[in-house]
Structure 1
Amino acid sequence: MRWLLLSTVLSPERMLEIARRHWIIENQLHWVLDVDLGEDANRNRKDHAPPPKKPHPDPKDRSQPL
């Protein structure tokens, strides 16, 4: 079940149509990501990616040497 806050009153049929259009777009996008771009084969997930890089030091911060 989903709760939505709308600024206009819609009939249940119209709301269902909008929701279905949204999920059609979402599913098509994810299909492209998965199939064409190989997102599912990407192993950059937990324990498979290099550690994050340290952020660049703030040049104004004199407490740490550059």
Structure 2
Amino acid sequence: MTDPLYQRLQLALKTLSLTAMPLQLDHLAQQAAAQHWSALEFLDALTQAELAARTEQHTRRAMR
């Protein structure tokens, strides 16, 4: 996507080290539009994806 707002959001997420959010953004945005999510529901889904990825990463590191 070449939308300047989209690019700015992707850059901000990466700068903030929110590594799972940029990967899930497209999929969740499409799902949110299709299911008529509120902004809070969309943000919740994005943050839950980030938390899940971090938990998984922490678990993998702990098992080493």
TM-score after normalising by structure 1: 0.46
> Which of structures 1 and 2 has the larger relative contact order (alpha carbons within 8 angstroms, sep 6+)?
2
Pick the structure with greater CA Rg: 1
TM-score after normalising by structure 2: 0.47
More helix by share: 2
